[in-house]
Amino acid sequence: MKFQTLSIRARLLCLALGLLIPLVFAGFFNLWGFWKASRTQIDESLKRQAELAATAFEQRILAYRQTLEAISILASNNESRLALQDYLDSIVKTRRNWLDVQIINRSGEVVLSQSKKSSNLSAISVLDLEREAARENSFVISTEQTADENLRILSLALPTANGNFVVARIDGASVSDVFKNLEFPEDNILAVFDKNNRLLYRSRVSPEQMSLDVGETPLLAALNEKREEAIEIESPYDKIRRIYGLARVEAVNAVVIVGVPSEKLYEPAREQFTRQLLFGLLVAAAAIAAAYYLARSITRPMRILTEAARDFGAGNLTARAEIEGDGTIGELGKTFNQMAGEIAHREGELKALDRLKSEFVSSVSHELRTPLTTIKTLTRVLQGNKISQPEREEFLETIALECDRQIDFVQTLLDLSRIESGAYKVSLCPVDVAKVLRESVETHRRTADSRRLNLKFILPPGNLPLASTDAGALRRIVSSLIENAIKYTTENGEISVSAENIGEQIAVQIIDNGCGIRAEDLPHIFEKFYRGQPLDTKNPANENGEFSGETGCAAAGEATGVGLGLYLVHNLVKQTGGEIAAESPVKGTDEGTKFTIFLPVFSNIKSSN
């Protein structure tokens, strides 16, 4: 079964197990790492114990050697036989573990001897010690098993200056006294081997075990030439598996071994493993229970969200997911509701855009058709040749005006296209603002007179400084605003065009006392395709935005346009580096509209450069 086809509960269960299993494995991996670290510490601890025992054994052997060196000195100084005999006797009597002391000449004959035994010990080992001491010309130590199985002998030999040898043999059981002060655990095994890998001492060992030869076992081979080592191996004596720490006694080339049963060390690890396993099972059970509970808490909200999404997709744009809470699902529900609201809003905007597109096409068609219809009608009349000369001149003038109107409208569309594509370029230069304003006013005076409007140009006081702008763009801006004022100013109204110097700017003002602009429309008048309803305080609109009569601003509100004039003005002002502001109704008159264009003074631009 594919994962995509599983239910939410099954997926959460798989997720819980998918997270849990690696965690459990990570726990066991950490446990294994902990055990390895602990094992390393155990190995190091056993090495230190073996080294401590080796040091104690070495100190005892060195003490034995000092005694032999004292005897060697006395024997080399030709002390009297009787004095030397008394010294040997005192050594054997005062050292309870010393079995005998002998001085042997080069021929192997016993020169002096003192022993605690009623009969002499076998001399075979003595001859071996003599040969070994002669070969190495140094102090040697060895071990041997006597006929008495309960007696293990530690044999020492030291050459004297006159070529003789001092040989001492000590009860091997005395080695245990060396380790009495070492506080090792009771179950630890302590053993000492000589350089020939023969057992000198082992705690808890039977006589038959003492005679075993373990020289070829991996136990002693593990040390090799190193000073210390650790190894886990089965004991060749009692077949118990132990971890051993080995340390070499350099003075006598002996080996000390400390061992601890592996079972004792593995028991805590097994307990920890069991605890880890139980903990993993408990966590697994908790994870499964949590996954089931979480699935239940998710299923219902998700079902509500799914139903809401299905209804919304079917066309019900009012469908919303009623999900409470501030968690992830609650946030998802809020996000869905927000998305649905934005989609519904965009649907409304798209419908409004479609409406604007339809209105734009209709308006453009009207703007293009009306002048053409007028031109065609007057052309037919002129072709009839049944009109007077004054009428002919009036018709020709009308045709010219309609052509200018058509050219101006097409030019507006072209300019807008160029501005939005970035192809429209302005050339900033010093411009006589008063001259541009006077020309623009004179251009529109006839149109204003035909509508019985008082269009006036107010000369600024003094000389107006030059502005940094584009003369053509400024002329188009002012002309568009004058045309707009003529369009929305009723008969006998007044339109004034003026300019003044305000600091480092020139403020151009176009003021009318016409209908004005509604407050809700004022923030949007510079937007593309936006056409607001005119405001008429003398003939207000009703609740539906409709005017009560056909005069005044109701008629003005029917003036043609596609909502591009002020949009073009705003863009041209920005292109020339200026600013534009609109005010309606005009302060102090409570009627009309005022447009103010702020242009930078050319001298200021020049000085800053």
Contacts of residue 20, defined as CB under 8 A and 6 or more positions apart, other chains included, come to 280, 283, 284, 287
Phi, psi of 163 (to 5 degrees): 95, -5
Which amino acid does the sequence have at 200? L
What is the model's pLDDT at position 12? 66
Mean pLDDT of 172-190: 77
What is the model's pLDDT at position 401? 72
Given a cut of 70, whether residue 544 has pLDDT beyond it is no
Share of residues in the chain with pLDDT > 90 (%): 4
Homologous superfamily of domain range 10-264: PAS domain (3.30.450.20)
* pLDDT category of residue 596 using cuts at 50, 70 and 90: very high
* pLDDT category of residue 516 using cuts at 50, 70 and 90: confident
- Which helix (H) or strand (E) element contains residue 17? helix 8-76
Joined tokens for residue 162? 């006159």
Joined tokens for residue 370? 């009306």
* pLDDT category of residue 558 using cuts at 50, 70 and 90: very low
What is the model's pLDDT at position 562? 64
CA 116 – CA 89 distance, rounded (Å) = 9
Q: Is the dihedral of CA 528, 529, 531, 532 positive or negative?
A: negative
Going from the C-alpha of 592 to that of each of 75, 233, 385, the distances in angstroms are: 143, 110, 45
Segments of the chain assigned to CATH 3.30.450.20? 10-264
Architecture of domain 425-542+550-608: 2-Layer Sandwich (3.30)
The residue among 146 and 234 whose pLDDT is bigger is 234
In CATH, the number for domain 320-424 is 1.10.287.130
Peptide bond into 236 cis (omega under 30): no
CA 456 – CA 335 distance, rounded (Å) = 58
CA 552 – CA 2 distance, rounded (Å) = 75
How many CA atoms lie less than 13 Å away from 493 in the CB half-sphere? 24
How many CA atoms lie less than 13 Å away from 333 in the CB half-sphere? 22
* pLDDT category of residue 600 using cuts at 50, 70 and 90: very high
What is the model's pLDDT at position 555? 43
Share of residues in the chain with pLDDT > 70 (%): 75
Segments of the chain assigned to CATH 3.30.565.10? 425-542+550-608
CA 172 – CA 175 distance, rounded (Å) = 6
Q: Where are the beta strands (DSSP E) in 135-206?
A: 140-145, 152-159, 165-171, 189-193, 199-202
Given a cut of 70, whether residue 129 has pLDDT beyond it is no
Given a cut of 80, whether residue 349 has pLDDT beyond it is no
Nearest to 150 by CA among 60, 213, 211: 211
Given a cut of 90, whether residue 228 has pLDDT beyond it is no
CA 369 – CA 36 distance, rounded (Å) = 96
Contact predicate 480/444, CB 8 Å: no
Given a cut of 80, whether residue 429 has pLDDT beyond it is yes
Phi, psi of 22 (to 5 degrees): -60, -35
pLDDT in tens, 353-365: 777 677 666 666 6
Contact predicate 158/65, CB 8 Å: yes
What is the model's pLDDT at position 495? 92
Cross-strand partners of 431: 467
pLDDT in tens, 457-498: 987 777 888 998 988 888 888 888 988 888 888 888 899 999
What is the model's pLDDT at position 3? 47
Segments of the chain assigned to CATH 1.10.287.130? 320-424
Nearest to 74 by CA among 59, 89, 61: 89
What does pLDDT average to over the chain?
Answer: 76
Cross-strand partners of 221: none
Given a cut of 90, whether residue 598 has pLDDT beyond it is yes
Joined tokens for residue 404? 């200018």
Nearest to 606 by CA among 465, 498, 424: 465
Given a cut of 60, whether residue 326 has pLDDT beyond it is yes
CB atoms within 10 A of CB 148: 11
First to last CA, the chain: 76
Nearest to 559 by CA among 504, 519, 527, 514: 514
What is the model's pLDDT at position 549? 44
Phi, psi of 66 (to 5 degrees): -60, -40
CA 593 – CA 601 distance, rounded (Å) = 25
* pLDDT category of residue 597 using cuts at 50, 70 and 90: very high
* pLDDT category of residue 154 using cuts at 50, 70 and 90: confident
Which amino acid does the sequence have at 186? E
CA 453 – CA 556 distance, rounded (Å) = 13
Q: Indicate the DSSP class of residue 591.
A: B
What is the model's pLDDT at position 112? 84
Contact predicate 111/197, CB 8 Å: no
Contact predicate 594/516, CB 8 Å: no
Joined tokens for residue 265? 């060390």
Contact predicate 598/503, CB 8 Å: no
Phi, psi of 147 (to 5 degrees): -65, -30
Nearest to 126 by CA among 97, 155, 100, 153: 155
Mean pLDDT of 413-441: 79
The residue among 545 and 40 whose pLDDT is bigger is 40
* pLDDT category of residue 595 using cuts at 50, 70 and 90: very high
What is the model's pLDDT at position 579? 92
What is the model's pLDDT at position 136? 59
CA 246 – CA 264 distance, rounded (Å) = 19
Nearest to 288 by CA among 546, 99, 22, 17: 17
CA angle, corner 225, sides to 222 and 231, nearest 5? 20
Given a cut of 60, whether residue 552 has pLDDT beyond it is no
CB atoms within 10 A of CB 211: 12
CA 50 – CA 60 distance, rounded (Å) = 15
Mean pLDDT of 205-215: 60
Instruction: Show the 3-state SS of 489-536.
Output: CCCCCEEEEEEEEECCEEEEEEEECCCCECCCCHHHCCCCCCCCCECC
